[in-house]
Amino acid sequence: MVALRPAAAERTFVLGEFGRLLNGVDKSTLPPAEVDPEAVRRRGAAIVEAAHRLRGSETPLLTDDLDDPWGRGDQTFQRVGDEIEDTTVPFATLLLP
């Protein structure tokens, strides 16, 4: 993605990297969590900016990337699904009231 849109580098993460960095986001520095769409957008943007600051100049860890489960059996699909959930649920919890 970054090769196609270099300007997106600050907003582009490997999913596991983003999930790992979410743990360090200071909730007190974020805009309030509200149900208004513009408030959700502002809070989401602030979360991404905070994750980018936490990342600094580090590159993602090899373990941050998800395996491609295609053709690899149900256990791999389940594991990858769990890894996706491990990031998306905490992100949604942080994003929404």
As a whole number, mean pLDDT of residues 49-75 equals 92
Q: Is the pLDDT of residue 89 over 90?
A: yes
- Considering only CA atoms, which of 73, 84, 67, 71 is closest in space to residue 15? 84
Per-residue pLDDT, 43: 98
Q: Is the pLDDT of residue 24 over 90?
A: yes
End-to-end CA separation in angstroms for the chain: 30
Q: What is the mean pLDDT of the chain?
A: 93
How do residues 1-22 score in pLDDT, each as one tens digit? 888 998 998 899 999 999 999 9
Whole-prediction pTM value? 0.87
Per-residue pLDDT, 41: 97
